[in-house]
Amino acid sequence: MSKQIRVGLVGYQFMGKAHSHAYRDASMFFDLPVTPVMQVLCGLGDEELRKAGAQYGWAEVEPDWRRLVERPDIDLIDICTPNFTHAEIAKEAIAHGKHVLCEKPLATSAALSREMLTAAQRAGISHMISHNYRFAPAVQLARQLIASGRLGEIRHIRATYLQDWIVDPNHPMVWRFKKELAGSGALGDLAAHSVDLARFLVGEITEVTGTLKTYIKERPVAGAASPDQRDTVTVDDQAIFLARFENGALGTFEATRLAAGNRNGNRFEINGSNGSVRWDMENMNYLHVFFQDDPVGLQGWRAIQVTEPVHPYAGNWWPAGHIIGYEHTFVHVVVEMLKGIHEGRAPTPNFEDGHRNQLVLEAVEQSDATGSWVKVPNF
Amino acid sequence: MSKQIRVGLVGYQFMGKAHSHAYRDASMFFDLPVTPVMQVLCGLGDEELRKAGAQYGWAEVEPDWRRLVERPDIDLIDICTPNFTHAEIAKEAIAHGKHVLCEKPLATSAALSREMLTAAQRAGISHMISHNYRFAPAVQLARQLIASGRLGEIRHIRATYLQDWIVDPNHPMVWRFKKELAGSGALGDLAAHSVDLARFLVGEITEVTGTLKTYIKERPVAGAASPDQRDTVTVDDQAIFLARFENGALGTFEATRLAAGNRNGNRFEINGSNGSVRWDMENMNYLHVFFQDDPVGLQGWRAIQVTEPVHPYAGNWWPAGHIIGYEHTFVHVVVEMLKGIHEGRAPTPNFEDGHRNQLVLEAVEQSDATGSWVKVPNF
Amino acid sequence: MSKQIRVGLVGYQFMGKAHSHAYRDASMFFDLPVTPVMQVLCGLGDEELRKAGAQYGWAEVEPDWRRLVERPDIDLIDICTPNFTHAEIAKEAIAHGKHVLCEKPLATSAALSREMLTAAQRAGISHMISHNYRFAPAVQLARQLIASGRLGEIRHIRATYLQDWIVDPNHPMVWRFKKELAGSGALGDLAAHSVDLARFLVGEITEVTGTLKTYIKERPVAGAASPDQRDTVTVDDQAIFLARFENGALGTFEATRLAAGNRNGNRFEINGSNGSVRWDMENMNYLHVFFQDDPVGLQGWRAIQVTEPVHPYAGNWWPAGHIIGYEHTFVHVVVEMLKGIHEGRAPTPNFEDGHRNQLVLEAVEQSDATGSWVKVPNF
Amino acid sequence: MSKQIRVGLVGYQFMGKAHSHAYRDASMFFDLPVTPVMQVLCGLGDEELRKAGAQYGWAEVEPDWRRLVERPDIDLIDICTPNFTHAEIAKEAIAHGKHVLCEKPLATSAALSREMLTAAQRAGISHMISHNYRFAPAVQLARQLIASGRLGEIRHIRATYLQDWIVDPNHPMVWRFKKELAGSGALGDLAAHSVDLARFLVGEITEVTGTLKTYIKERPVAGAASPDQRDTVTVDDQAIFLARFENGALGTFEATRLAAGNRNGNRFEINGSNGSVRWDMENMNYLHVFFQDDPVGLQGWRAIQVTEPVHPYAGNWWPAGHIIGYEHTFVHVVVEMLKGIHEGRAPTPNFEDGHRNQLVLEAVEQSDATGSWVKVPNF
């Protein structure tokens, strides 16, 4: 039997649930080199924690993350807490020699993400950031096409991540709307994903110019006695920016939570000298591909359903034509994490990716302040 | 200067307008071997006729089609009148040695369409039926792919023509709802188009089984004093049937005027042993093509925008990417008609196609009566 | 703690895997009234069975289904074996008082499915047939719209289930191509799903006419010494038929395994007097809806992403906009099965649905033989 | 009979052909308050000019535009020549009291477009710029929805105009690739359209930041003796920019001629506080609309086929469901121009729109030079 990797997961809301499920499915659908053991679920709120632990299938629960990271029997700490806590938990976990899988964004500032990266590299542990959208089979296929040169020289990317869950001005205040807790708004929450996809598919971003905007500046306090009790939103509702890439490509980016009709519109189109790809998370099983060298008269965008045995990850699931969903991307994250641990390396994407992502986001924020193009630092 | 073909057009409603425009555009966008002259517009209603003649650009108007077909200066009679008049006008025109372009369906019965075909063949004139949808560039491309064997052995066609303009039970009675005037309802009006496309793309239909249905059996008399004054609908609202083709393929067909949300849903998908095509009139500039021999992992439906110079008819219009519309199909009909006259042959599709189409439709009607498969007669 | 339901599952291939996963996910994502215990996985092939049992999470394995159904500790038998074995296993399980969940088609003949239904009803156990596609949230939403009268009087359904996995004539022989093992081909495998959706959404089918066809009549024997060793296909590659419904609606149906480009094209459109719905399993998270009473000029097909908390089943998964996949439909099947057991009733769809489905399929087969419309028996 | 407006059209290539056809169709499909007379076609190349004149239906041809604008019998000068000639021809025409319809961009610099506007206003003639895409019925419907407040406060626009006709580096040099002849590349040719749509639908742009890029810096000389003879491209292949609007909205813009697979991808999405619209020129008959106030659970993007009698311009063409094409937008331009002349006003969009558009484009060019946000001057 393969070596066991005992997991402690911190946070049991949306991401905690997605990661928990990923460990369950990973062992059923993939031949893993190591065996994940769902040992400890950690989080606040005794009753809810116990309930979540039982429902998600964790052996134990533990309310104190500091006690968790000290446990010698735990190999991997998985961080699914609000953004402002990532750095502290990760650094403590690393200090105790744990491997770390961390939700995005890595931290609320590049200063913090740099510390996390440095610590992780020095400790030699396996570190990973959960940019799950990379792991949609269609995105992996896009990567294969680009990396193999099939699309030629890459010149353009236009990436949008459009949501609409806070169009209603009476959507109550949550931690995501506070700069000190979230770092930023649509920028860190959504554009971070687009930047990761762009780095994965096009390459490093060297320079950006952009702007942020908060349209709805106050929101009702959740559970307040009076509906008039309002609190100030201190993060952006929308972020837009232009980017120059190391390889000469140009990109346009937009992230917003106010684009009515876009529930989860994580999309991109990339154009190269020999072809193009399009992807939309809301129809994530398809990659649309255009080959410039198809015969004249028979050229057209191909809707490739990325569910075939030859496609990345797809063969582990169902026969061709049987689509997978959002949560499967997390299963692939976990598979990559466990492989990284087994092979004694950092998986991809890792803390360096998380930190470089943060550098881009901060450059956008600076650009918003200065009104000029800002170079993305190299470290 | 090329030889002039003097045209007399009968009927100035929807189809008369479409054909009138086709003569205007044909001479502007195509290098024609003969020059169409818009000489006489013929129809009922003095004032409306004069107005239509002036607006459409006809040199003269003439209320009596019998006088029109007797005129020695007229070369081509174009018939755009209600279905029940096609046979009589066409036969008289042929008797006077005119070339004839006739709207579909050719006649209200196969007995009549047989007479028309025989008369036309004996007279040696150029005869054509205006199955305009064949002439969408995307349909022509489909034909090229199939005829060249690129899709292999053709096995399946599913063709639907779905409209919804009479979902409202208070839509008033019109001639199209009377068997003696229209021949049939959705069957002759809509399925006739699908049958033509099927014959063009797949081949001859040898046997059918089907049924017709009238859901809304009475409709208000148009312009009646009382809204309660109602008249009986004597044609089908919907026709469905199965078909066997000479080449072994099977087909399913549906035509209806009650499919809410389908304004003009003339669609088909054809599957062969080496690939497939899909088309939808409402997005008529695209042909969706699947090639079974594309590399595994890169197979997918290609959305080919059939607007390139290499595509049939497309190069006569605008640069690639600039789409055309419904009316352009009639321009292509007229171009084919004029070429046929110039070359002394019947264009395609001609009265034989119209008659064979009618034979299929009548077989469906018989099948509706008998409840069994009915062989389509050979003549 | 809620009552435990101890499950024994027979078969561990495609369906066995899907059902196994469904039990795992059901308990994580749904508050179940009873607790499923994955007790015994049953199937042929010692080594593969053991491996599957461990990987899917079953407590024990058992190679003999007869011993399994005799075990007093087992409450529910889940049948995921080839079609020809369903009846025998189900009847034995019922004889031992077990609840039964059976994959579709219920049996290879209506005579057998009638026996199964009668036995199940007499025994008073909870019986269910795994028509999983009913359980896509978008299909459930379609049902709500229709059942509430929102679409008016239902008049048309066109349902297709198009696959292409055996377009290659060298695809080897499998049990699915043998009448004695599978019952039928595309008819029982694919059209059975369409018939179930039609019965769920439109109502009972009273009469059918149709035909079956086998295009590729021989296939290579799997693993044979010589590639020339071929075996005869005794089931249909394609089935097409027309249907009359109790409520007056008409339907067209097609199932095929030779429609190149259609990996899993389970689709329908339904038109009523006040609106329409469209669905496609390959984009299963969307229901396209047209409301005839939307304001004139603003009417159009709405692409409803059925992932909102208010949508059937969707709220148990992820926030709006985060799509689910094929396998989730089985989770919903299991949830309904467990609820049925808890409430002492047959879930829906149950053996009666399976039997009525079989009656329709057999009527199609008879119609293929006689060439006429065949009435679907009432029992 | 209504007053005649005698037209002299300069240029008979792509745009000259489109405008010629527009005059032909306008009088057939619209009840015009004045009657356009296709009097003189003007352009270089005797033989080609004569041929075009005859084919397009002009009464006369004239090689010298200066002689044309001096003719007292001509009422309207329509300018379809390369960009660098617009200003001179327009100013001379205005000086002779002619009404002027001018292709876009109005001029190659804002200095010139300002002169044109001033001259036109002083002369009191009717002046119009041919931003034809405004006149797609679907765009007009978008305008109605926004202007009526139906979509609430407008916050975002993302507009792209993606073409791919020069992806091939061996596409020969044409006047469009020379700054002195074209003014700019993708910016003036394509982004000009997006800016016009944005101004029409969202409002005035006050500030921009952007960049331009030329990827393929040399191209073969057309018809050169040696394929190695190359000339330098002095305009942009791609332009990207961000924009702030007077009403607080933010926009992202991209225009490129190198986006493989995009033949004519003129697209936008606009989001307001109460809904959104999407449009794509390649499927120009549809407007996709999302209403935030649709009932929860039934919200979705509606694909409105803008072909109904109640829709702008659509009722002049064919019955609902019969789509129109690219060229129809020019017919609507001509209809608006003729109405403007009849009513003694400048049509919309006019030279002021053309000039303001030019101001935005120049601000983008400045921003490309300075790397900062640039305010768009008010005049």
- DSSP secondary structure letters along B314-363: GGGSSSTT----TTHHHHHHHHHHHHHHHHTS--SS-HHHHHHHHHHHHH
If you measure CA to CA, which chain A residue comes closest to B288? A300
Q: What is the pLDDT of residue D379?
A: 87
- D300 contact residues in C (CB cutoff 8 A): 286, 288-289, 302-305
**In which residue ranges of chain C is pLDDT below 50?**
none
Is a pLDDT exceeding 80 seen at residue D1?
Answer: no
List, for residues D155-182, the tens digit of each pLDDT value: 999 999 999 999 999 999 999 999 999 9
Looking at chain C, which subunits does it touch, using at least 3 CB pairs closer than 8 Å as the criterion?
A: A, B, D
Q: What is the pLDDT of residue B1?
A: 59
If you measure CA to CA, which chain C residue comes closest to A324? C325
Q: In three state form, how does the secondary structure of chain D look?
A: CCCEEEEEEECCCHHHHHHHHHHHHHHHHCCCCCEEEEEEEECCCHHHHHHHHHHHCCCEEECCHHHHHHCCCCCEEEECCCHHHHHHHHHHHHHCCCEEEECCCCCCCHHHHHHHHHHHHHHCCCEEECCHHHHCHHHHHHHHHHHCCCCCCEEEEEEEEECCCCCCCCCCCCHHHCHHHHCCCHHHHHHHHHHHHHHHHCCCEEEEEEEEECCCCEEECCCCCCCCCEEECCCCCEEEEEEEECCCCEEEEEEECCCCCCCCEEEEEEEECCEEEEEEHHHCCEEEEEECCCCCCCCCEEEEECCCCCCCCHHHCCCCCCCCCCCHHHHHHHHHHHHHHHHCCCCCCCHHHHHHHHHHHHHHHHHHHHCECEECCCC
Q: What is the pLDDT of residue A227?
A: 77
Q: Among C55, C283, C305, select the one facing A263 at the smallest CB separation.
A: C305
Under a CB-based contact definition with an 8 Å cutoff, are residues C323 and C307 in contact?
A: yes
D140 Cα to chain C: minimum distance (Å): 12
Question: What are the backbone dihedrals phi and psi of residue D69, each rounded to the nearest 5 degrees, phi first?
Answer: -70, -15
Residue pLDDT tens, chain A, 379 long: 589 999 999 999 999 999 999 999 999 999 999 999 999 999 999 999 999 999 999 999 999 999 999 999 999 999 999 999 999 999 999 999 999 999 999 999 999 999 999 999 999 999 999 999 999 999 999 999 999 999 999 999 999 999 999 999 999 999 999 999 999 999 999 999 999 999 999 999 999 999 999 999 999 998 888 878 999 999 999 999 999 999 999 999 999 999 999 999 999 999 999 999 999 999 999 999 999 999 999 999 999 999 999 999 999 999 999 999 999 999 999 999 999 999 999 999 999 999 999 999 999 999 999 999 999 999 8
If you measure CA to CA, which chain A residue comes closest to D157? A259
Q: What is the pLDDT of residue A1?
A: 59
Q: How far is CA A58 from CA A8, A67, A327, C309, in A?
A: 9, 17, 18, 26
- Per the structure block, which two tokens stand in for C148? 């509430």
Interface B–C counts its CB contacts (< 8 A) at 117
Chain B residues bordering chain D (beta-carbon distance below 8 Å)? 14, 18, 20-21, 24-25, 27-28, 55-57, 163, 165, 262-265, 282-285, 305, 307, 317-328
List, for residues D47-103, the tens digit of each pLDDT value: 999 999 999 999 999 999 999 999 999 999 999 999 999 999 999 999 999 999 999
Is a pLDDT exceeding 80 seen at residue B331?
Answer: yes
Q: What is the pLDDT of residue D95?
A: 98
- B259 contact residues in C (CB cutoff 8 A): 156, 269, 271, 276
pLDDT band at B224 (very low <50, low <70, confident <90, very high): confident
Q: CB A210 to CB D373 under 8 A?
A: no
Rounded CA-CA distance B227/B240 in Å is 32
Chain C residues bordering chain B (beta-carbon distance below 8 Å)? 155-156, 158, 160, 162, 164, 167, 169, 209-211, 213, 215, 238, 240-242, 244, 248, 250, 252, 254, 256, 258-262, 269, 271-276, 290, 292, 299-301, 371-373
Q: Among D164, D248, D371, select the one facing A372 at the smallest CB separation.
A: D371
Q: CB D28 to CB B56 under 8 A?
A: yes
Of all residues in chain B, the percent with pLDDT exceeding 90 is 97
Say which residues have a Cβ less than 8 Å from residue D136's Cβ, sequence separation at least 6: D279, D281, D284, D306, D329
Q: Among C240, C273, C299, select the one facing B242 at the smallest CB separation.
A: C240
Q: How far is CA B299 from CA B115, C135, C262, C318, D161, in A?
A: 49, 29, 11, 31, 28
Across all residues in chain B, what is the average pLDDT?
A: 97
Q: CB B297 to CB A289 under 8 A?
A: no
Chain A residues bordering chain D (beta-carbon distance below 8 Å)? 155-156, 158, 160, 162, 164, 167, 169, 209-211, 213, 215, 238, 240-242, 244, 248, 250, 252, 254, 256, 258-262, 269, 271-276, 290, 292, 299-301, 371-373
Q: CB C244 to CB B371 under 8 A?
A: no
| Overall average pLDDT of the B176-199 stretch | 96
Across all residues in chain D, what is the average pLDDT?
A: 97
Chain D residues bordering chain A (beta-carbon distance below 8 Å)? 155-156, 158, 160, 162, 164, 167, 169, 209-211, 213, 215, 238, 240-242, 244, 248, 250, 252, 254, 256, 258-262, 269, 271-276, 290, 292, 299-301, 371-373
- C323 contact residues in A (CB cutoff 8 A): 282-284, 325-326
Alpha-carbon C366 to chain mean position: 22
**C154-162/C265-272 β-pairing:** antiparallel
Q: CB B297 to CB A305 under 8 A?
A: no
Say what the ipTM of the complex is.
0.96
Q: How many CB atoms lie within 10 A of CB D256?
A: 30
Q: What is the pLDDT of residue D225?
A: 83
Q: What is the pLDDT of residue C242?
A: 98
Q: Is-above-0.95 flag for pTM? A: yes
Is a pLDDT exceeding 80 seen at residue B227?
Answer: no
Would you mind telling me the total number of residues written for chain C in this entry?
379
- Per the structure block, which two tokens stand in for A14? 């949306």
The Cα angle at residue D88 between residues D84 and D92, in degrees rounded to 5: 160
Q: CB D304 to CB C300 under 8 A?
A: yes
Q: C96: helix, coil or strand? A: coil
Q: Among A264, A305, A325, select the one facing C328 at the smallest CB separation.
A: A325
C368 Cα to chain D: minimum distance (Å): 37
List, for residues D112-121, the tens digit of each pLDDT value: 999 999 999 9
Q: Among D141, D296, D302, select the one facing C301 at the smallest CB separation.
A: D302
Q: Among B24, B27, B321, select the one facing D263 at the smallest CB separation.
A: B321
Q: CB A297 to CB B303 under 8 A?
A: no
pLDDT band at B226 (very low <50, low <70, confident <90, very high): confident
The Cα angle at residue D153 between residues D148 and D154, in degrees rounded to 5: 95
Position of tokens 């077909």? Answer: B69
Question: What are the E-state strand segments in C11-108?
Answer: 35-42, 60-62, 76-79, 99-102
A288 Cα to chain B: minimum distance (Å): 9
Q: CB C299 to CB D300 under 8 A?
A: no
Is a pLDDT exceeding 80 seen at residue B213?
Answer: yes
